[in-house]
Amino acid sequence: MVSRRKGSEHKKALNLEFRIDKEDDKREKEREEKPIIKKNKQEENEHRKRDLKKWSCVNSCCWFIGCMCSIWWFLLFLYNAMPASFPQYVTEAITGPVPDPLGVKLHKEGLKAKHPVVFVPGIVTGVLELWEGHQCAEGLFRKRLWGDPYAGLSMSLDNETGLDPSGVRIRPVSGLVAADYFAPGYFVWAVLIANLARIGYETKNMYMAAYDWRISFQNTEVRDQTLSRIKSNLELMVATNGGSKVVVIPHSMGVLYFLHFMKWVEAPAPMGGGGGSDWCAKHIKAVMNIGGPFLGVPKAVTGLFSAEAKEIAFARAVAPGVLDMDVFGFQTLQHVMQMTHTWDSTMSMIPKGGDTIWGGLDWSAEDDHDCNTKKIKSNDTQPMSQNGKGSSVKRVNYGRIISFGKDVAEVNSSKIEQMDFRGAVKGSNLANTTCRDVWTEYHDMGVEGIKAIADYKIYTAGSILDLLHFVAPKMMKRGSAHFSYGVADNLDDQKYVHYRYWSNPLETKLPNAPDMEIFSMYGVGIPTERASVYKLSPAAGCYIPFQIDTSAEGGLDCTCLRGGVFSVDGDETVPVLNAGFMAAKGWRGKTRFNPSGIRTYIREYYHAPPGNLLEGRGTQSGARVDILGNFALIEDIIRVAAGATGEDLEGDQVYSDIFKWSERINLQL
């Protein structure tokens, strides 16, 4: 035994041989593995008597690895041999018997698949795959690019056209796999799909309207004919399911996309789909918007302005070096910004409706929002009633979406001097030429321009647009051909037949479909970014000149300000006002935006963090993506899909101040 061990000692020497042979080995490694082992053993025997040493470090290492492997295999074997019901058994032992899954419960109630269901995924959650790439992407053909953390390729589009750069074709994955799981284990639609399947849904009556979420809505039709495909699929599903109209479930940006679709499909060709003026009435039963950013998201502004949202700002505060460092030779934030600037779709999320909706310098609809009471409430989960009583709390000027300096964000508007930046000289580019490869439009701007922006001090929703036009003229020029952010004075104006207005609910009429229902379903109870405090970035040169001032804290009397960001109630990304306003006021009853009087319902879901670890991401979550796993929401959807109307669901379910806030918005209806 001893000598055997010693003999194996010279393996180390063999290792060297391996390195020489490796070029050949790797080609036929499986094949050669065995001969090598034999060779090892032979030489082992020869050397056995020659050197008698003790265990060396290498051998110990090998021994250790061997042990680990064996144990791993053993566990893997056990795991594979384990009966499938074992985990459930353990769970039941710990937490007691698990109630029936939702779908099963409803199935027992007698609900059955009736209306075909269409999912419209939102921004970022849809998976993209590569169809044609440059040399460096060899071997990635039809591999997931987005949704796979390891394939961090540049996903930029052409910055002039907003379409594919030459030689690269990245396309959305089609089918339910497009957005069931975003990354392994991180569900998006999967829970909803599983529950729908339990009452009888399958591929023939469920459809994922996957689209390339990077390009503008109309371009998805121009490049991929996505809208035509959705139209054809909806028609097919209605025809093959005995004439039952479809229930559409858009999520996040998909809400705007579907709004665009509804206008597109009834508009005459070539700009539209030529479906005729009653297409929606004939094919759509209900639109169940989940977390819809109807009026845009303030987060989009910070994203476009300085490529940072709350999370990134936080990371920057904790570890200032990381994001600004040249990690692996590139400047992370700048690259992110360069990439997102080429994505037209992000511009669909810029706040719409201007000061009327989002508030002016001194006024905003959510003025009396009390961040403190919310904190308490989330602890005892009482229904919303005491809100508004906490008048001692200082009012927050939410209207000022971007303000330079904390003091500016709080003082009275009369004390602020604004220097108009619009005419300001942009100045020459001072950045040295080495910055050139990093393309953000900031590099076309000189110090004067940056200073002019900072001097204006405060930007409301209206002036934000001017600001973006100033700092990123090319991007906004491209974007404004596809999107519009205003409020229509006269909806019958001829110009509103153009597709750029279709995704703005304040500049379009809903289709003429009095039997249709529109649901606004969203989470509440999570502080959501609404306005931010900026400062000039200290570094000069190639860097983005602005960043969120994370040191701006509100203190005890104004808890809404945290880390440079003013928060209101919402679902972590979309403020309540934005998600609910159209259903609460803009479309309620017969208004000019809703001429046929389509019924609207608001379904709010109060956020409750997961009770324990076993629940994963929570069955009562109100957060943006996690809400798709919220049982109450799933139940609503299943009931509607099985034929219920909004009345059967008991109409509105409201926890927030949405109605009060909507009242305050002065909009001609």
- What residues between 38 and 57 interact with another protein by CB under 8 A? none
Tell me if 567 sits within 8 A of 371, measured CB to CB: yes
Tokens of 394: 């200082």
CA atoms 107, 110, 112, 114: torsion sign: negative
Interatomic CA distance for residues 218 and 478, integer angstroms = 13
Tokens of 280: 């929606």
Residue type, 666: N
Q: Is 20 in the site for another protein (CB under 8 A)?
A: no
Minimum distance from residue 87 beta carbon to another protein (Å): 8
Q: How far is C-alpha 399 from the geometric centre of its chain's CA atoms?
A: 24
Q: Report residue 91: phi and psi, to 5°.
A: -60, -45
Q: Is 31 in the site for another protein (CB under 8 A)?
A: yes
Q: Which is nearer to another protein, 225 or 432 (CB)?
A: 225
Q: Give the range of 19-27, 403-411, 536-544, 629-637 binding another protein by CB under 8 A.
A: 19-27
Minimum distance from residue 100 beta carbon to another protein (Å): 13
Minimum distance from residue 484 beta carbon to another protein (Å): 27
Catalogue the long-range contacts made by 182-185 (C-beta closer than 8 Å, 24 or more residues apart): 182/125, 182/127, 182/147, 182/625, 183/147, 183/148, 183/149
Among 25, 148, 355, 441, binds another protein (CB under 8 A): 25
Tell me if 175 sits within 8 A of 184, measured CB to CB: no
**108-147: which residues touch another protein (CB under 8 A)?**
131-132, 138-139, 141-142
**178-207: which residues touch another protein (CB under 8 A)?**
180, 193-194, 197-198, 200, 202-204
Spell out, one character per residue from 586 to 625, where the chain touches another protein: x when CB under 8 A holds, - when not.
----------------------------------------
Minimum distance from residue 369 beta carbon to another protein (Å): 42
Minimum distance from residue 621 beta carbon to another protein (Å): 21
Q: Which is nearer to another protein, 31 or 415 (CB)?
A: 31
Interatomic CA distance for residues 140 and 117, integer angstroms = 32
Among 167, 175, 541, 589, binds another protein (CB under 8 A): 175
* Sequence-separated (6 or more) residues with CB below 8 Å from residue 563: 310, 313, 314, 317, 548, 550, 552, 553
Among 16, 34, 555, 650, binds another protein (CB under 8 A): 34
Q: Which of 164, 453, 123, 463 is nearest to 300 (CA)?
A: 123
Q: Is 8 in the site for another protein (CB under 8 A)?
A: yes
Q: Is 650 in the site for another protein (CB under 8 A)?
A: no
Among 39, 112, 169, 495, binds another protein (CB under 8 A): 169
Tokens of 110: 């007698």
- The residues facing 522 across adjacent strands are 604
DSSP assignment string, 520-580: EEEEESEEEEEEEEEEE-S--TTS-SEEE-TT----SS-TTEETTEEEEEEBSSSBHHHHH
Among 70, 277, 428, 551, binds another protein (CB under 8 A): 70
Q: Which is nearer to another protein, 187 or 502 (CB)?
A: 187
Q: Is 66 in the site for another protein (CB under 8 A)?
A: yes
Q: Which is nearer to another protein, 270 or 321 (CB)?
A: 270
**144-163: which residues touch another protein (CB under 8 A)?**
none
The total number of residues shown for the chain amounts to 669
Number of residues that bind another protein (CB under 8 A): 71
Among 13, 29, 326, 669, binds another protein (CB under 8 A): 29
Q: Is 65 in the site for another protein (CB under 8 A)?
A: yes
Among 46, 52, 56, 63, binds another protein (CB under 8 A): 63
Helices and strands (DSSP H and E) totals, the chain: 24, 19
Q: Which is nearer to another protein, 67 or 539 (CB)?
A: 67
Minimum distance from residue 38 beta carbon to another protein (Å): 13
Q: Give the range of 30-38, 310-318, 356-364, 403-411 binding another protein by CB under 8 A.
A: 30-38
SS3 123: coil
Interatomic CA distance for residues 566 and 293, integer angstroms = 18
SS3 401: coil
Interatomic CA distance for residues 206 and 559, integer angstroms = 44
Tokens of 437: 């490869």
Terminal-residue alpha carbon distance, the chain? 93
Spell out, one character per residue from 222 to 241, where the chain touches another protein: x when CB under 8 A holds, - when not.
--xx--xx--xx-xx--xx-
Q: Is 663 in the site for another protein (CB under 8 A)?
A: no
SS3 212: coil
Residue whose entry in the numeric block shows the structure tokens 């950045």: 431
Q: Is 17 in the site for another protein (CB under 8 A)?
A: no
Q: Which of 244, 215, 263, 219 is nearest to 118 (CA)?
A: 244
Tokens of 169: 């074709």
Minimum distance from residue 635 beta carbon to another protein (Å): 19
**289-348: which residues touch another protein (CB under 8 A)?**
none
Among 54, 80, 391, 490, binds another protein (CB under 8 A): 80
Tokens of 175: 């089918």
Spell out, one character per residue from 535 to 574, where the chain touches another protein: x when CB under 8 A holds, - when not.
----------------------------------------
Q: Is 90 in the site for another protein (CB under 8 A)?
A: no
Minimum distance from residue 478 beta carbon to another protein (Å): 23
Quote the strand ranges of 281-393, DSSP E.
284-290, 326-327, 330-331
